[in-house]
Structure 1
Amino acid sequence: MLSFNVSVDVHGGDGEESGPATIGWLLAENESRLIYKPPQRLKQPSPSRPRTHAKSVTACPAVLGLESRLFEVQCPCDLTLRMAETDFGEPAVVNADGPMSTVRDDVFANLIILHPREEWRDPGRPILQMRLPYIFIADEPTYMSQLPPFQHLRKTPLPGLMIPGRFPINVWPRTLTWAFEWHDISAPLELRRGDPLFYVLFEVLPQSRAIQLVEAERTPELEAYLQQINGVVGFVNQTFSLFRAAEELRPAHLVQPKKKP
């Protein structure tokens, strides 16, 4: 059973929620949907033959229950990265596509961030992050997990592991990053536009409720709250300790579905 230690009573009732749980998503200001595609509900792999058995995996409630809560975020661009060293012997990430890269040097410098060596979990395994503009929000207790795309079979495996994470988006909405721990630094890290970069999984109560993902408006209330959240990340190490304080500042509603043109 899920246990949510942080909650926001935005509905004013004592009973359990019913109906779909509405989750909002949006992009950071000035980011283009032409580059950053909307999150998509994970689609079941097409079976190679019709279901002929009641116990088929295509009808398994455990599989279907998980997949119904997974949404896919795609890689925004083609990248081939390699580990290198600076003239001072410090580790560095370089764009191996060079002048043939689709990503300009100034964009690359802001997109890919290599953690300092003292922040790595292992001295031989660099950790980098790709900055992304995706923000997910909710108006009820909701935990979101950011997970590797385990349903996607790559022709060439990644030379390391994506670092997953989990946090409550009803009180701590913020822009996401894709974090990667590079295990085999002799191999390039190849990412292709349109491939699944990661999944997001949403946990709500009761657990049987469906998830409805909608594009959200950037309202003045949401904008002000996001600025308060983003303003403390660089000053506090254990940001989860601020959840209760953030809850007190949180407006009653954050999710306002965007009107279709």
Structure 2
Amino acid sequence: MQLSVHFENTQGTEAGSGPVTVGWFLNQQKGGIVYFPPERVRGAEKNKTHAKSASRCPAVINLESRYFVIRCPFDLHLGFTRDDKGKPHIRNLNGDMSGIRASKLAEKIHMTPEKEWRYAGIPTIQLVLPYVFIADEPVYASQVAPFMHYQKTPMPGTIFGGRFPINVWPRPLMWAFEWHETDKPLKINRGDPLFYLTFETVPQDRSVVVVETEVTPELTDYMELISGAVNYVNQTFSLFEAAEERRPETLIRPVKRRPTKD
């Protein structure tokens, strides 16, 4: 098995050909119906009636086709506040009209401890998500802000993601937000883009196909092996090679859906 943690380790080996298959699944099935499947950013609704339209530009098409959007699963309308002791809190501004119960919102939205904020006075909140992505060959995933989607009301802060090898370190994603303008509410509607994912392959010009994969016993065991490592060490990247040595050769098994009736 030659998965390789680092792209440079693949030099001198036979390069892959054809599309790279990236699998995805939800690590929690309870309420999973509310989560949108990943979708390619490129859409058919764009103007292609003119030969010089940007929608026909190969460079634009190539870029957009390499990004996949993850959409918000429920309505969020949040405010930032501090209690009488100065401790930061998140308020659900929808109150009794909120589509998500307060107890469930508290499970999904967390504010990191103030001493862990990257910048003083700028809170960091996290939305826990059940999405996991996996590959059976060297693939790095990068999580970035949805910069190709227009937002009529800009968010009062910035999204930050990360980059990691999904072939050896598949993990549940989360949406992290740094709240720069805490006097302004954070509002995201169900179905709005939360973030994009893009995938680096070997060689770089290979296309990517994203498919839902079965959660097999082998996949479950491997996820259990690496889960929670961040609670024990500071630099989880140092564990990549150890994880690779214990990884099954194949983890992706595409889900077979029954054909829909016309």
Both structures adopt the same fold (TM-score exceeding 0.5): yes
* Counterparts of 1:172 and 1:90, CA distance in 2: 35
**Paired residue secondary structure (2:229):** coil
* Counterparts of 1:154 and 1:104, CA distance in 2: 26
The alpha carbon displacement at 1:223 in A equals: 0.2
Among 83, 89, 92, which residue is 2:80 paired with? Answer: 83
Among 104, 107, 123, which residue is 2:104 paired with? Answer: 107
Instruction: Show the counterpart of 1:240.
Output: 237
Instruction: Show the counterpart of 2:68.
Output: 71
**Paired residue secondary structure (1:233):** helix
The alpha carbon displacement at 1:260 in A equals: 1.4
- How do 1:85-164 and structure 2 match up within 5 A? 85-164=82-161
Q: Aligned pair in 2 of structure 1 residues 86, 216: CA closer, same or farther (>3 Å)?
A: same
* Counterparts of 1:48 and 1:134, CA distance in 2: 32
> Does residue 34 of structure 2 align to residue 35 of structure 1?
yes
The question of whether the paired residues in 1 share the 8 Å contact of 2:5 and 2:240 is answered with: no
* Counterparts of 2:5 and 2:13, CA distance in 1: 16
Q: Deviations along 1:12-48, whole A, 9 cap, x unmatched?
A: x931111110000000132334200111111247444
Among 223, 227, 238, which residue is 2:224 paired with? Answer: 227
* Percent of pairs with identical residues: 49
Among 159, 162, 170, which residue is 1:173 paired with? Answer: 170
Query: More displaced, 187-196 or 42-51?
Result: 42-51
* Counterparts of 1:138 and 1:162, CA distance in 2: 25
* Counterparts of 1:163 and 1:35, CA distance in 2: 24
Q: Aligned pair in 2 of structure 1 residues 215, 5: CA closer, same or farther (>3 Å)?
A: closer
The question of whether the paired residues in 2 share the 8 Å contact of 1:80 and 1:96 is answered with: yes
Query: More displaced, 44-53 or 243-252?
Result: 44-53
The question of whether the paired residues in 2 share the 8 Å contact of 1:31 and 1:133 is answered with: no
* Counterparts of 2:149 and 2:240, CA distance in 1: 34
* Counterparts of 1:91 and 1:118, CA distance in 2: 11
TM-score in terms of structure 1 length: 0.91
Instruction: Show the counterpart of 1:6.
Output: 6
* Counterparts of 2:46 and 2:199, CA distance in 1: 26
Residue identity in the other structure for 2:146 = P
The alpha carbon displacement at 1:213 in A equals: 0.7
* Counterparts of 1:219 and 1:5, CA distance in 2: 23
**Unaligned regions of 5+ residues in structure 1, if any?**
none
Aligned residues: 254
Q: Aligned pair in 2 of structure 1 residues 252, 48: CA closer, same or farther (>3 Å)?
A: closer
Instruction: Show the counterpart of 2:19.
Output: 20
The alpha carbon displacement at 1:236 in A equals: 1.2
The alpha carbon displacement at 1:65 in A equals: 1.8
* Counterparts of 1:32 and 1:150, CA distance in 2: 28
The question of whether the paired residues in 2 share the 8 Å contact of 1:146 and 1:164 is answered with: yes
Residue identity in the other structure for 1:79 = L
Please give the root-mean-square deviation of Cα atoms over the aligned residues, in Å.
2.1
Q: Aligned pair in 2 of structure 1 residues 215, 122: CA closer, same or farther (>3 Å)?
A: same
Residue identity in the other structure for 2:249 = A
Residue identity in the other structure for 1:58 = S
Instruction: Show the counterpart of 2:213.
Output: 216
Q: After TM superposition, where is structure 1 displaced by more than 6 Å over at least 4 residues in a row?
A: none
Residue identity in the other structure for 1:193 = R
The alpha carbon displacement at 1:88 in A equals: 2.2
Among 46, 55, 63, which residue is 1:58 paired with? Answer: 55
**Paired residue secondary structure (2:221):** helix
The alpha carbon displacement at 1:231 in A equals: 3.0
The question of whether the paired residues in 2 share the 8 Å contact of 1:6 and 1:244 is answered with: no
